[in-house]
């Protein structure tokens, strides 16, 4: 800036030199040299005088405790940050910034863009009314424990004789790490420690992988579960089987949004054997590219799939795709996808007391807008095996005007039965296969407790019916009696008028 000012000043002197005497020019030059001297003093030798040594001046921090979410042992964390503020009128020099645990700490620091093995930094200047970032990472060593173990340390700051600190803490969890793992024999996994999958976990042809209650499998980015045999996931209401991405932290530079609520965190579950037998009970499957994908092209051999008491939620592409498969979905939720939520083509399909919902556009962290395909697509074409489809006591709705589409060469004679369902479709089907259904009407706005993600108040998709919902009392008691408890464990038969879908409205207890 000083050189720039000098350039303009010399230009000015040159322009007026013909009008001014030599004496006047000398006066301007002397003034210019005096200005440079003052500036140099200010920027160099005088700088030290601007840094306060007053012990009453101290630092402030964006938090007094920096907490990391669960960290898998031997796997480094994402980077978290702390802001250091100098709210004082004078600059400060932080004599030292260091980890109490020193070079043996499991945490690592990056201060003002630099790092060192000792995690110790000296003479860090911070201007008046200014701030600086400190970035922190952590790696937890394996500790041979099934339960998470707390790892802690602190960052210690010394400024003008004052000692201040910020606590650091993380929970380390030992995991069973698999990279491109192939299971060659019938195998029952453990629920004691979670599994972390990189690349893929594959089940060999005709072999069975069993996931017991409480089993947790975390998938790294783009990792998949590839089942060339059979999959049995048998959770309970208290200890469901969980299949999800491996990130526990929050999305940076965003509202308080966990990565577990962001679609596309991993691949999905592919059921690839045309003679497979798959049972999923009390499973929580979420936030990948696809949920369950069955790409069977064999019209003679159809895999058997049973999904009960489960939630398949928030996928970048599809929820459940069943091509030439016999599929049952009972007392379950399949929801929020970028394209089809449930795609059926070939085979028998029995959807009872379930919620097929697509409010993806209203979702937290929706990576893209959903396309224009409906939540439920039933496709009966040449490549499909003979079809029979039943929907009872279920809900088909979402953000589009039409969330159910049946595409068949023999549309008027489609082999299907739809009874006691809530269905959103702009032009209701008038076929005899549709009986006692409630077709969406413009006034049907208060269907659920929360059909979107909001911050104020903080809500994340609660598909229990609202007290004024058109779902209330819509279900057939004979069907509901097969599933007396809804997905929340509430008795759907207590009032004699069960609701449609996977959840029963329950009055608020006073």
Instruction: Give the domain ranges of the chain.
Output: 60-172, 175-480
**Beta strands 71-72 and 162-173, pairing class:** parallel
Structure tokens at 253: 């530079």
- pLDDT at residue 364, as a whole number: 63
* CA distances in angstroms from 272 to 110, 205, 292, 337, listed in the order given: 47, 9, 10, 22
- Residue that has been written with the tokens 């802690």 in this structure: 152
Q: How many residues does the chain have?
A: 510
Residue 179 · residue 195 · CB < 8 Å? no
For CA atoms 168, 171, 172, 177, the dihedral sign is: negative
User: What average pLDDT does this structure show over 459-483?
Assistant: 96
pLDDT at 270 over 80: yes
Residue among 219, 226, 222 at smallest CA distance from 201: 226
Whether the upstream peptide bond of residue 457 has omega within 30° of 0, thus cis, is yes
Check: CATH 3.40.50.10880 for 60-172?
no
Count other Cβ atoms within 10 Å, centred on residue 82: 18
Alpha-carbon dihedral of residues 462, 464, 467, 472, nearest 10 degrees? Answer: 150
**Alpha-carbon span 189 to 90, nearest angstrom:** 61
Residue 22: the pLDDT is 44
Structure tokens at 60: 């402030």
Question: What is the DSSP-derived secondary structure letter of residue 240?
Answer: -
Confidence label for 23 from pLDDT (cuts 50, 70 and 90): very low
- Residue 10: pLDDT over 80: no
CB 133 within 8 A of CB 82: yes
How far apart, in Å, are the Cα atoms of 351 and each of 53, 362, 389, 449? Answer: 73, 25, 8, 23
Whether the predicted pLDDT of 274 surpasses 60? yes
The confidence band for 365, taking pLDDT boundaries of 50, 70 and 90, is low
The owner of tokens 């099934």 is: 146
Query: pLDDT tens-digit profile of 138-170?
Result: 999 998 999 999 999 999 999 999 999 999 999
The 3-state DSSP class for residue 492 equals coil
Extract the tokens encoding 172: 């380390």
């Amino acid at each position: 800036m000083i050189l720039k000012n000098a350039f303009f000043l010399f230009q000015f002197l040159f322009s007026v030199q013909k009008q001014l005497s030599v004496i006047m020019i000398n006066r301007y030059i002397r003034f210019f040299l005096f200005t440079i001297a003052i500036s140099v003093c200010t920027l160099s030798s005088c700088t030290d005088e601007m840094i306060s040594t007053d012990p009453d001046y101290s630092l402030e921090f964006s938090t007094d405790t920096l907490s990391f979410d669960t960290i898998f042992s031997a796997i480094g964390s994402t980077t978290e940050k702390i802001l250091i503020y100098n709210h004082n009128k004078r600059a400060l020099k932080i004599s030292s910034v260091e980890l109490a645990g020193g070079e043996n700490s499991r945490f690592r620091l990056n201060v003002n863009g630099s790092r060192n093995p000792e995690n110790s930094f000296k003479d860090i200047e911070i201007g008046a009314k200014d701030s600086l970032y400190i970035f922190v990472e952590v790696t937890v060593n394996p500790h041979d424990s099934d339960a998470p173990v707390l790892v802690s340390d602190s960052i210690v700051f010394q400024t003008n004789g004052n000692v201040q600190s910020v606590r650091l803490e993380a929970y380390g969890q030992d995991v069973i790490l698999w990279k491109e793992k192939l299971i060659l024999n019938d195998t029952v996994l453990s629920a004691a420690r979670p599994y972390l999958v990189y690349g893929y976990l594959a089940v060999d042809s005709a072999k069975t992988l069993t996931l017991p209650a409480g089993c947790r499998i975390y998938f790294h980015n783009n990792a998949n579960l590839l089942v060339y045999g059979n999959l049995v996931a048998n959770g309970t209401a208290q200890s469901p089987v969980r299949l999800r991405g491996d990130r526990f932290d929050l999305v940076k530079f965003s509202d308080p949004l966990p990565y577990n609520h962001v679609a596309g965190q991993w691949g999905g579950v592919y059921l690839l054997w045309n003679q497979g037998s798959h049972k999923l009970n009390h499973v929580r499957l979420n936030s990948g590219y696809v949920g369950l994908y069955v790409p069977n092209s064999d019209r003679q051999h159809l895999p058997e799939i049973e999904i009960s008491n489960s939630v398949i939620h928030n996928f970048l592409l599809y929820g459940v795709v069943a091509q030439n498969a016999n599929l049952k979905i009972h007392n379950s939720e399949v929801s929020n996808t970028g394209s089809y939520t449930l795609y059926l083509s070939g085979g028998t399909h029995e959807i009872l007391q379930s919620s097929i919902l697509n409010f993806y556009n209203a979702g937290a962290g929706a990576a893209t807008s959903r396309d224009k395909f409906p939540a439920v697509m039933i496709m009966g074409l040449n490549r499909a095996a003979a079809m029979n489809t039943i929907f009872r006591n279920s809900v088909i709705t979402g953000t589009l005007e039409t969330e159910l589409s049946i595409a068949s060469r023999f549309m008027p004679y489609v082999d299907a039965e739809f009874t006691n369902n809530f269905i959103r479709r702009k032009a209701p089907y008038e076929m005899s296969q549709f009986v006692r259904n409630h077709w969406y009407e413009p006034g049907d706005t208060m269907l659920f407790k929360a059909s979107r993600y909001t911050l104020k108040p903080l809500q994340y998709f609660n598909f229990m019916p609202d007290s004024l919902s058109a779902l209330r009392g819509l279900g057939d008691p004979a069907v509901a009696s097969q599933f007396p408890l809804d997905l929340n464990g509430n008795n759907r038969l207590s009032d004699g008028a069960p609701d449609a879908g996977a959840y029963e409205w329950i009055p608020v207890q006073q």
